[in-house]
């Protein structure tokens, strides 16, 4: 028996967890995962973060999933599908034996009702725009159409779902891995309120119903989210783990200590200063992989001083991205001179932000703040994280040195941080965007005017027009040209300043099996396993 497995077994026997002094005894065949932050909720249609997606992808399943080796769509809740020659019409055949975790059958009507809920304006789902590729979905979502029967989704049989799109959408099947497309159980939601109620009791322990390989066993906020096998899952016989536990450990050093002591099999991240140590002493535990994620700062464009594009541009030009990557980061990150990661499905932005202190000072002076004189102190918001704090301190010093700007740092717990951005109650906010699909439009579309993930107050008719044109364009070269136009407009208007392109960094115990690294950072929990203890 390895030392790690021995420690894990002892801790499980004592009922210890990474975040709490006591927990129910459970099988040793349970994967313990660091999840960085507490989940906003367990309703897939109202959440927006990576921590939520990691947990909900164990409990729910969309029509299709991805083969993580090839990143090609493969059947999931649907056992098959057909696509019309023009790429507009999809017919899905759902698995006839699929059931919800309470034993109810999963039907085509479940998807119709779920997507109607997602698009209903009163729900205010931040990711509703992902469904706008469906015919008339946007009109229904913005309230200009009130009859959902006119939206291009219909159940034409108990297990037959027909979907009609506005325009050919090559990544439509790949999007089915995203929480926005997951079905929800209508009877359960309505037992605790109406279709559009947020935060109702249906997501709590004992009430939650899902259709994925695992189901909710226990949710103790700020302590642990425990899942167990869903015996009604259509492929339950292939699921190797007895459960997956998610621990919301926001402090990276605490998480690393929990891994080192054997309490965690997987971490969410790793402290920057620990990377070299693991390279030397435990290289088999250190995981560093390519990742389709951009680290950037948002500006609140609705309030001074960042309602002035010249101030936003000046702050962007004053960030030395090369120095951040060279002197602060240590795991293959690249400076971001544009927003969408390079070579995303063949697309690389040809507009660059640059690092130009002289031009930054000129712009600040043109805005009425020569050498920073008269520029009000501004706050930089980040969610509680040691890495984000270090990067924020580095950028704070650059803005002070290069612009004479007084930038104050403050951090908030993840839930509060998200709410603060959503209400535009900030000046500058640390952000990341991880691709939902392998397509550049996914990075850009969240800055459409009024969309839930915009969170900057930014709106541009030119940008919106270019994105809408890309949606409707079937020719690849022309479509990418529209996206180039959109990203150039975004970077020129500067509601954000890109900083670097990330890598995925975490720790993994040697007994973990079945993890397949991929650009989207997806985990297929049903394929993962823990090796048996050595004899």
CATH number of the domain residue 527 falls in: 3.40.190.10
Q: Are residues 401 and 321 located together in one domain of the fold? A: yes
Closest CA to 238 of 230, 227, 247, 226: 230
**SS3 of 295, please?**
strand
Assign 3 a pLDDT band (cuts: 50, 70, 90).
Answer: very low
Q: Give the 3-state secondary structure percentages of the chain, helix then strand then coil, rounded to 5.
A: 35, 20, 45
Predicted confidence at residue 176, as pLDDT, reads: 98
Q: Are residues 250 and 233 located together in one domain of the fold? A: yes
Q: Write the DSSP string, 42-79.
A: S-TTT--SHHHHHHHHHH---SEEEETTTTEEEESSEE
Q: Are residues 346 and 458 located together in one domain of the fold? A: yes
Question: Residue 21: is its pLDDT beyond 70?
Answer: no
Which of 196, 221, 236 is at the close of a domain?
A: 196
User: Do β-strands 407-412 and 428-434 pair in parallel, antiparallel, or remain unpaired?
Assistant: unpaired
Q: Are residues 460 and 533 located together in one domain of the fold? A: no
Q: Which residues of 376-393 are buried (b: 16+ CB within 10 A; e: fewer)?
A: eebebbbbbbbbbebbbe
Q: How far apart are CA 304 and CA 452, in angstroms?
A: 22
Is 60:182 a contact under the CB 8 Å cutoff?
yes
Assign 414 a pLDDT band (cuts: 50, 70, 90).
Answer: confident
Which has more pLDDT, 263 or 4?
263
Residue 323 lies in a domain: yes
Is 487:287 a contact under the CB 8 Å cutoff?
no
Residue 275 lies in a domain: no
- The mean per-residue pLDDT over the stretch 514-526 comes to 97
- The CATH number of residue 88's host domain is 3.90.76.10
Residue 284 lies in a domain: no
Is 185:42 a contact under the CB 8 Å cutoff?
no
Locate all alpha helices (DSSP H) within 404-460, ordered by sequence: 414-422, 441-444
Per the structure, the complete domain to which residue 385 belongs is given by 289-504
pLDDT tens string 277-324: 999 999 999 999 999 999 999 999 999 999 999 999 999 999 999 999
Q: Are residues 65 and 44 located together in one domain of the fold? A: no
Q: Are residues 153 and 184 located together in one domain of the fold? A: yes
What residues pair up with 294 in beta bridges, in sequence order? 433, 501
pTM over cut 0.75: yes
Which of 196, 229, 244 is at the close of a domain?
A: 196
Question: Residue 24: is its pLDDT beyond 60?
Answer: no
Cis peptide before 274 (omega within 30 of 0): no
Predicted confidence at residue 385, as pLDDT, reads: 87
Residue 207 lies in a domain: no
Q: What total number of domains does the chain contain?
A: 3
Predicted confidence at residue 534, as pLDDT, reads: 53
Q: How far apart are CA 218 and CA 19, in angstroms?
A: 14
CA distances for 165 relative to 88, 132, 446, 482, angstroms: 5, 9, 20, 20
Q: Are residues 403 and 452 located together in one domain of the fold? A: yes
Residue 204 lies in a domain: no
Q: Are residues 237 and 386 located together in one domain of the fold? A: no
Residue 277 lies in a domain: no
Q: Are residues 427 and 485 located together in one domain of the fold? A: yes
């Amino acid at each position: 028996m390895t030392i790690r497995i021995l420690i894990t077994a002892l801790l499980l026997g004592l009922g210890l967890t990474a975040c709490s002094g006591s927990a129910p005894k459970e099988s040793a065949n349970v994967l313990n995962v660091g999840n960085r932050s507490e989940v906003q909720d367990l309703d897939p249609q109202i959440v927006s973060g990576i921590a939520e997606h990691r947990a909900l992808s164990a409990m729910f399943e969309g029509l299709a999933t991805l083969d993580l080796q090839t990143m090609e769509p493969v059947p999931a809740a649907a056992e098959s599908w057909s696509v019309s020659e023009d790429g507009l019409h999809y017919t899905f055949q759902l698995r006839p034996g699929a059931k919800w975790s309470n034993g109810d059958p999963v039907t085509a009507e479940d998807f119709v009702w779920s997507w109607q809920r997602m698009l209903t304006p009163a729900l205010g789902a931040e990711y509703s725009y992902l469904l706008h590729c469906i015919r008339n979905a946007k009109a229904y979502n913005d309230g200009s159409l009130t009859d959902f029967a006119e939206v291009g989704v219909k159940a034409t049989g108990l297990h037959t779902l027909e979907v009609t799109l506005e325009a050919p959408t090559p990544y439509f099947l790949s999007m089915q891995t995203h929480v926005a497309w997951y079905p929800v159980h209508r009877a359960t939601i309505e037992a605790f309120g109406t279709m559009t109620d947020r935060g109702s009791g249906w997501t709590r322990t004992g009430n939650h119903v899902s259709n994925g390989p695992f189901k909710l066993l226990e949710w103790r906020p700020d302590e642990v989210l425990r899942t167990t096998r869903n015996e009604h899952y259509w492929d339950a016989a292939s699921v190797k783990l007895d459960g997956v536990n998610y621990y919301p450990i926001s402090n990276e050093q605490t998480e690393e200590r929990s891994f080192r002591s054997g309490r965690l099999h997987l971490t969410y991240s790793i402290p920057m200063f620990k990377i070299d140590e693991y390279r030397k002493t435990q290289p088999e535990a250190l995981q560093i992989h390519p990742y389709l994620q951009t680290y950037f700062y948002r500006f609140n464009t609705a309030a001074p001083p960042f309602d002035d594009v010249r101030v936003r541009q000046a702050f962007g030009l004053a960030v030395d991205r090369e120095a951040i990557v060279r002197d602060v980061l240590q795991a293959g990150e690249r400076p971001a001179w544009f927003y969408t990661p390079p070579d995303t499905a063949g697309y690389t932005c040809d507009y660059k932000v640059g690092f130009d202190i002289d031009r930054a000072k000129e712009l600040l002076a043109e805005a009425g703040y020569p050498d920073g004189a008269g520029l009000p102190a501004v706050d930089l918001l980040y969610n509680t994280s040691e890495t984000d704090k270090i990067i924020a301190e580095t950028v704070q010093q650059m803005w002070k040195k290069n612009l004479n700007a007084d930038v104050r740092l403050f951090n908030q717990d993840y839930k509060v941080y998200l709410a603060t951005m959503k209400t535009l109650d900030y000046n500058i906010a640390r952000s990341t965007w991880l691709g939902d699909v392998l397509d550049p439009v996914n990075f850009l579309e969240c800055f459409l005017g009024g969309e839930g993930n915009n969170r900057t107050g930014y709106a541009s008719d030119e940008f919106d027009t270019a994105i809408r044109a890309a949606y409707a364009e079937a020719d690849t070269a022309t479509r990418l040209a529209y996206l180039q136009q959109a990203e150039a407009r975004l970077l020129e208007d500067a509601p954000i300043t890109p900083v670097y392109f990330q890598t995925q960094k975490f720790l993994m115990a040697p007994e973990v099996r079945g993890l397949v690294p991929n650009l989207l950072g997806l985990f297929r929990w049903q394929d993962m396993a823990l090796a048996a203890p050595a004899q």
